[in-house]
Each structure stands twice: as C-alpha cells, then as structure tokens.
Amino acid sequence: MKERGEAEDFVTPGEVLGKTSELKPGNGAYVSPQDNTVYASLAGIRSLTPPPPESADLRPTVEVKGHKAHGPVPEPGAIVLARVTKVMAKMASADIVCVGPKSVREKFTGIIRQQDVRATEIDKVEMHSSFRPGDIVKALVLSLGDARAYYLSTAKNELGVVSAESAAGETMVPISWTEMQCPSTGQIEQRKVAKVGA
C-alpha cells in the first residue's frame, strides 16, 4: 500500500523536483549547490517517502526510480571515463563510457568546456592540444548541462587523458602532464594528461 501523500509521476533528467528546504534528494536525484534545487538525474517515476517517525529532519525524501533496468547514471561529483568524439575551439564533446568502475548501458554525452580543462592559465588552453577524437579521458561530472549533455571537468592533476592513440595507431605513453609519446615512432603529441598514480 502506498503511503499517504506519496505522489508518482514521470520525470526526465534535469527536471526540477523541488527545493532543498522542502525535500531531501534520494536515489536518482541531486542538489545543485548554486540554487539549492533538487533535480532528477535520470528518467523515471518520481516518488516521495515520508521521513521516519524518529527523524529530526522532517523533509520527505524524493527519489526517481528508473523506468527500465539500466546501468549507472552520471551524477555531479562522479568520476567518469569518456571517449572524445569531437574537438572544437572552445570545447570538446565525449561519450561517457563508465561511471566510476561501472560501464554505462545508455548513451550519455559529456562536454568539456575550455574553462574546465585545467585549473591554471585557463585563458591559454588550446582544446586541440589538450584532446583529440578517440582519446579516453578521466573527468569529473560538474553538472547536467543543456541538451542532455553533462559538463565535465579535467581541471585536477589526476584528471585528463588516460589513453590516447598516436598517428601510427600505437597507445601513447605519458611523458609529462602536457605531452604523450608514441612508443614506436617517438613522436610527441600535446595532451592534457591525467597524472598517473594519483
């Protein structure tokens, strides 16, 4: 039997569920620190669960239960692996392939903006010397952006390109935090490299 006051309706990622003053985010929901608003992080049925009787927090918990069995969903604060698909002057787009250690089953698109590539000298960032299509990038999910794309950041030392293929088709070896080298040709290419072992 459903609890009294429990409402169910269909929501999609990025939809506003309510304010943090009235609701606690549960599974499938997250809070945007900028506006203290709770958003849905996946498509599914929204449900409200009243607080336990002994709880000091009187806000109900809002959850979004996926409408089909799916893998993990990127949420702000999660570390993801993404394959770069396109590099433009001000941003790169990528397909998210893993959230943490788990591979995703649905298509999620990520965008790395110029200002989110690294923490220093942001105005000097060259997107084409940071990423190339096909690179595997370790990134932090900042937020759900527009058009169902997630904003990703590589602005920490341990984030950035973790695997890249050289022009010769070899897996390149990082030699500094801005360069990777092809083991067969010795050719050096520029990248925003993830610090290994961090």
- Residue 82 scores a pLDDT above 50: yes
**CATH code for the domain in which residue 158 is found:** 2.40.50.140
Same domain, 83 and 62: no
- Domains of the chain: total: 2
SS (H, E, C) 154-192: CCCCCCEEEECECCCCCECEEEECCEEECCCCCCEEECC
More confident residue, 137 or 56: 137
Which of helix, strand or coil describes residue 36?
Answer: coil
Closest CA to 18 of 5, 6, 30, 4: 30
User: Do both 130 and 152 map to the same domain?
Assistant: yes
Give the Cα separation of 69 and 41 in Å (integer).
15
Across the range 167-176, mean pLDDT stands at 91
Instruction: Give strand pairing partners of 92.
Output: 87, 112
Same domain flag for 21 and 94: no
Residue 99 has pLDDT above 80, yes or no: yes
Overall pTM surpassing 0.85 (yes/no): no
Q: Which residue has the higher pLDDT, 119 or 196?
A: 119
Mean pLDDT over 118-142 rounds to: 94
DSSP 39-71: EESSSEEEEEEPPPTT-S--PPEEEEEESS---
What mean pLDDT is predicted for residues 142-157?
87
What is the average pLDDT value for the chain, to the nearest integer?
87
- For the segment 157-172, the average pLDDT, to the nearest whole number, is 93
Q: Are residues 130 and 57 in the same domain?
A: no
Going by the DSSP 8-state scheme, the letter that residue 100 receives in this structure is: T
Nearest Cα residue to 41 out of 14, 66, 67: 14
Are 104 and 163 part of one and the same domain? yes
Lowest mean pLDDT among 56-60, 103-107, 145-149: 145-149
Tell me the C-alpha distance between 79 and 102, whole Å: 11
**Domain region containing 56:** 9-66
Q: For residue 33, give the 3-state DSSP assignment.
A: coil
Task: Indicate if the pLDDT at residue 43 is higher than 90.
Answer: no
3-state helix, strand, coil in the chain (%, to 5): 5, 45, 50
Looking at the fold, whether 26 and 51 belong to one and the same domain comes out as yes
Q: What is the pLDDT of residue 69?
A: 53
Instruction: State whether 56 and 102 are in the same domain.
Output: no
In a domain, 196, yes or no: no
Residues 94 and 168 in one domain: yes
The reply to whether 198 falls in a domain is no
* Distance set, CA 157 to CA 39, 117, 161 (Å): 29, 10, 11
In a domain, 108, yes or no: yes
For residue 148, what pLDDT is reported?
Answer: 72
Query: Are the CB atoms for 13 and 41 separated by under 8 Å?
Result: yes
Q: Which pLDDT does position 42 carry in this prediction? A: 80
- Would you state the pLDDT for residue 111? 96
